[in-house]
C-alpha cells in the first residue's frame, strides 16, 4: 500500500510539473536504456555460451556432442518456462501485436526478462533461431510496463511499446533507423510528430548504449569491391522474385513443421524428437548451428569455402563447382526446417536471423550459379547482401525495414537501388500469394490483427464484451401474459429475452408484437410467453469479432442482437451502443 501511495504522489507531482510531451521523451530515454541493456545481456550471453560450445575439443564431425547440444538447450528452456515462467513466451512479435490489438497494450511483467533467459539457452546451445524476436518482445514489454506504471492511456502505451521494440532492434543491430521503421511498419504505429520524436530518441539511445558496451563494429563488415552496375538490374529483379518465393517456402515450411511437432502432446517428448532431428541436421550441415551469422560473415568476406569445414560434404566437394552450390541449396532447404524444429520443440527465438541467413545463401547461390553458367559475371558479395533484404521483406512483410536494416548493419549504402528493387519485388511476390506475414497470419485468421486503417483498427480493438448490455429484463417461457405486462411496466427496454431456469436462451419477446394483446385482460392467465416469443434472425457469441458482429447487423437488418454462448444467454449488443463506443475509441486512436 505504501508503494502504491508513493506512486500516486509521484503521478500527482508529474501532472503538475511535467508536460505529457516531456514525460514521453523522458520515458523514451529510460526505455531506450533498458532495452539496450537487455540486448547487450542477451547478445553477450549467447555469444559466450555459443563460443564455449564451439570450443569443445574435437573436430566437428568427430564430436558427437553436437548431436545432443541442441536437445540440451531446448530441454533447459522448456524446463525453465514450465517451472518458472508458466506462460507461453514463444513467437514474441506476434504476442506484441496481440497485446496491441486485443489487450489494450498490456504485457505481463515477466515478459521483460523471460524471453531473454529462454533465448540464451536455446540459441547458445545451437538452436537454429535468432535473438531479435526475444529482444523486441523484451523491449516492448519494458515499454508496456513503464506505461502502466505511469498510468498512460491506450495510445501512449502503444507508443512506448513501439519505443521499446525499436530500441531493441537498434541496440542489437546498431541500426536506429531500421528500429524506427520496424515500429511503424511491423507494429503498425502511426507516424505523427507526437510519435516520431520518442521513437527516434529511444532508437538513438538504444544504439548509443549498445556501442558503449559492444563497441562500434557493425554486424557484417562490408567493403564494396564491386560497385553497383545498372546493367545488372534484370538480375536483381529476378533475385527479387526468387527471394519472394523462398520467403513463401519459409513461411509454409514453418507452419507445417511447427504444426506437426506440436501435435505431440507431451512437452518433453517434443523436445527429444525435435531436438534430436535438429542435432542430426546441424551435425550434417554445420552452418545451421545457431543464428548463422558466422556463415554469413564467411560469405560476405569472400571465404565461402569455410562453410564446408568440419562437414561430411567437405570430403566430396570444394567451393568452386556445382557440388558446392548443391551443398548450399541443401543448407537453404534445411534451415527453414531447423528453425521450425527449434521453436516447435519449445525453444525461444525468432525468424529474423534465419531470414537473413537464408537470404544471404539465396543471393550467393543465385550469383554463383550465374557465374558458373554465363560469361556475364555478377558480384557474389553484393547479391548475398541484397538477398538478405529480400528474405526479410518477404518473411516479415516489411520492405522498408529490410532496406534500411541491411544498409545499416553492413554499411552497404552504395547498394540502395538494388536493395529497393529486390525488397520491393520480393514483397510484391509474397503478398500476391500470402497477404499476411509469419508474424500476423494467425492473428489475421482470428480477426485480431490491428492495421493502419483506423476503421479496421478500432473494430479490432473492440470486442463483444466492450459493447455488451445486460439491462434487459428476462422472462420465462411459462410466464403468463399478466406476468409479462408487469415486467413491461417497470422495464426501460422494449425487448425481453426468454430464458429457462438454467439460463438457456429460448427466444425473445418484442413489445411491438404484444402491444395489441397486452390490454386484453381476458388472456392474462391463458396466454403464455412461449406463445408470444419469436426466434431472432441472428445471434452473436462473445468470441465473435466486431467485424463479424457488424456483418450480422448488416445482413439481418436488426438493431439489437442477443449474445449467446453455448446456448447460455449473456446479454444484447445494439447498433447504437456499438457506434457510440466506436466513436469514442476512434477519437482515442486518432489522437495526435
Between 496 and 576, residue with greater pLDDT: 496
State the Cα–Cα distance between residues 209 and 35, nearest whole angstrom: 9
Q: Give tens-digit pLDDT for 352-405.
A: 899 999 999 999 999 999 999 987 789 888 899 899 999 999 999 999 999 999
pLDDT per residue as tens digits for the range 463-489: 788 788 888 889 898 888 888 888 888
Integer angstrom CA distances of residue 180 from 3, 133, 186, 470, 531: 34, 15, 10, 44, 63
Q: In which element (H, E) is residue 125 found?
A: none
CB-based burial, 386-423: b 16+ in 10 Å, e otherwise: bbbbbbbbbbbbbbbbbbbbbbbbbebeebeebbbbbb
Residue 427 CA to residue 279 CA, distance in Å, equals: 32
For residue 477, give the 3-state DSSP assignment: coil
**Is the pLDDT assigned to residue 304 strictly greater than 50?**
yes
What the chain holds in terms of domains, given with CATH numbers, is: 2-214 (1.10.3080.10), 230-449 (1.10.3080.10), 457-590 (3.10.580.10)
Tell me the pairing of strands 505-510 and 495-499.
Answer: antiparallel
Q: How far apart are the first and last CA of the chain?
A: 35
CA 432, chain centre distance (Å):
21
Q: What is the mean pLDDT of the chain?
A: 85
DSSP sequence for 287-348: GGSTTSHHHHHHHHTT-GGGGGTT-GGGGT--SSSHHHHHHHHHHHHHHHHHHHHHHHTT--
Each residue's pLDDT tens digit, 2-33: 555 666 676 676 666 777 788 889 999 999 99
The string of DSSP codes covering 266-295 is SHHHHHHHHHHHHHHHHHH-GGGSTTSHHH
Q: Is 507 left (phi over 0), alpha (psi -120 to 50) or beta?
A: left
Neighbouring residues of 205: CB distance < 8 A, sequence distance ≥ 6:
28, 29, 32, 33, 36, 167
pLDDT the model gives residue 53? 85
Residues paired with 565 in a beta bridge: 568
The whole-number average pLDDT for the span 500-516 is 87
**Secondary structure (DSSP) of 545-568:** -HHHHHHHHHHH--SEEEEEETTE
Place 63 in a pLDDT band, splitting at 50, 70 and 90. Answer: low
Instruction: State pLDDT tens for residues 514-568.
Output: 887 888 788 888 888 888 888 888 899 988 877 788 888 888 888 888 999 988 9
pLDDT band at 592 (very low <50, low <70, confident <90, very high): very low
pLDDT at residue 129, as a whole number:
92
Residue 591, pLDDT > 70, answer: no
Query: Which class for 52: exposed (0-12), middle (13-18), buried (19 or more C-beta within 10 A)?
Result: exposed
**Range from 155-169, 175-189, 444-458, 556-570 carrying the lowest mean pLDDT:** 444-458
- For the segment 337-351, what is each residue's pLDDT rounded down to a tens digit? 999 999 999 999 988
Helix, strand or coil, per DSSP, at residue 468: coil
Position 150 scores a pLDDT of 81
pLDDT of residue 329: 93
Task: Give pLDDT tens digits for 136-151.
Answer: 999 999 999 999 888 7
Q: What is the mean pLDDT of residues 197-222?
A: 84
Range with the poorest average pLDDT among 157-166, 219-228, 276-285, 555-564: 219-228
Amino acid at each position: 500500500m505504501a508503494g502504491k501511495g508513493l506512486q500516486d504522489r509521484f503521478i500527482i507531482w508529474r501532472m503538475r510539473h511535467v508536460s505529457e510531451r516531456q514525460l514521453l521523451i523522458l520515458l523514451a530515454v529510460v526505455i531506450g536504456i533498458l532495452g539496450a541493456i537487455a540486448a547487450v545481456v542477451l547478445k553477450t550471453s549467447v555469444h559466450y555460451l555459443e563460443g564455449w560450445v564451439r570450443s569443445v575439443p574435437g573436430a566437428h564431425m568427430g564430436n558427437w556432442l553436437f548431436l545432443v547440444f541442441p536437445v540440451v538447450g531446448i530441454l533447459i528452456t522448456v524446463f525453465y518456462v514450465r517451472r518458472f515462467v508458466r506462460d507461453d513466451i514463444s513467437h514474441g512479435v506476434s504476442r506484441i501485436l496481440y497485446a496491441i490489438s486485443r489487450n489494450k497494450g498490456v504485457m505481463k511483467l515477466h515478459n521483460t526478462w523471460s524471453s531473454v533467459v529462454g533465448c540464451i539457452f536455446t540459441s547458445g546451445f545451437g538452436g537454429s533461431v535468432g535473438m531479435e524476436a526475444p529482444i523486441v518482445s523484451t523491449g516492448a514489454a519494458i515499454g508496456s510496463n513503464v506505461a502502466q506504471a505511469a498510468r498512460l492511456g491506450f495510445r501512449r502505451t502503444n507508443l512506448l511499446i513501439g519505443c521499446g521494440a525499436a530500441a531493441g532492434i537498434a541496440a542489437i543491430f546498431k541500426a536506429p533507423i531500421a528500429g524506427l521503421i520496424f515500429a511503424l511498419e511491423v507494429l503498425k504505429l502511426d507516424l505523427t510528430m507526437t510519435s516520431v520524436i520518442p521513437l527516434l530518441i529511444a532508437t538513438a539511445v538504444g544504439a548509443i548504449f549498445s556501442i558503449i558496451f559492444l563497441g562500434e563494429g557493425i554486424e557484417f563488415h562490408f567493403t564494396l569491391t564491386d560497385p553497383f552496375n545498372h546493367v545488372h538490374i534484370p538480375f536483381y529483379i529476378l533475385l527479387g522474385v526468387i527471394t519472394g518465393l523462398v520467403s513463401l517456402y519459409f513461411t509454409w515450411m514453418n507452419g507445417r513443421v511447427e504444426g506437426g511437432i506440436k501435435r505431440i502432446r507431451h512437452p518433453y517428448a517434443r523436445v527429444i524428437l525435435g531436438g534430436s532431428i535438429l542435432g542430426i541436421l546441424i551435425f550434417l550441415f554445420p552452418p545451421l548451428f545457431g543464428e548463422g551469422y558466422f556463415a554469413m560473415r564467411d560469405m560476405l568476406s569472400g571465404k565461402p569455402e569455410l562453410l564446408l569445414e568440419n562437414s561430411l560434404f567437405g570430403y566430396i566437394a570444394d567451393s568452386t563447382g556445382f557440388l558446392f552450390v548443391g551443398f548450399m541449396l541443401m543448407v537453404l532447404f534445411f534451415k527453414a526446417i531447423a528453425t521450425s524444429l527449434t521453436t516447435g520443440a519449445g525453444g525461444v527465438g525468432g525468424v529474423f536471423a534465419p531470414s537473413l541467413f537464408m537470404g544471404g545463401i539465396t543471393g550467393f547461390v543465385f550469383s554463383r550459379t550465374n557465374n558458373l553458367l554465363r560469361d556475364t559475371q555478377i558480384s557474389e558479395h553484393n547479391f548475398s547482401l541484397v538477398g538478405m533484404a529480400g528474405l526479410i521483406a518477404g518473411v516479415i512483410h516489411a520492405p522498408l525495414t529490410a532496406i534500411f536494416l541491411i544498409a545499416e548493419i553492413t554499411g552497404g549504402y552504395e547498394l540502395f537501388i538494388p536493395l529497393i528493387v529486390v525488397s520491393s519485388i520480393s514483397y510484391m511476390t509474397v503478398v500476391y500469394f500470402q497477404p499476411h506475414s509469419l508474424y500476423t497470419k494467425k492473428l489475421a485468421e482470428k480477426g485480431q490483427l490491428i492495421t493502419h486503417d483506423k476503421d479496421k483498427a478500432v473494430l479490432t480493438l473492440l470486442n463483444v464484451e466492450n459493447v455488451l448490455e445486460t439491462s434487459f429484463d428476462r422472462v420465462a417461457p411459462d410466464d403468463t401474459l399478466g406476468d409479462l405486462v408487469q415486467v413491461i411496466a417497470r422495464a426501460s427496454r422494449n425487448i425481453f429475452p426468454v430464458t429457462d431456469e438454467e439460463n438457456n436462451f429460448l427466444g425473445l419477446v418484442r413489445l411491438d408484437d404484444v402491444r395489441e394483446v397486452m390490454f386484453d385482460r381476458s388472456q392474462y392467465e391463458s396466454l403464455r410467453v412461449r406463445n408470444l416469443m419469436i426466434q431472432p434472425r441472428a445471434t452473436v457469441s462473445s468470441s465473435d469479432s466486431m467485424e463479424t458482429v457488424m456483418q450480422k447487423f448488416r445482413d439481418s437488418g436488426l438493431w439489437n442482437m442477443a449474445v449467446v454462448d453455448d446456448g447460455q444467454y449473456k446479454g444484447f449488443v445494439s447498433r447504437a451502443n456499438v457506434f457510440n463506443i466506436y466513436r469514442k475509441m476512434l477519437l482515442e486512436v486518432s489522437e495526435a
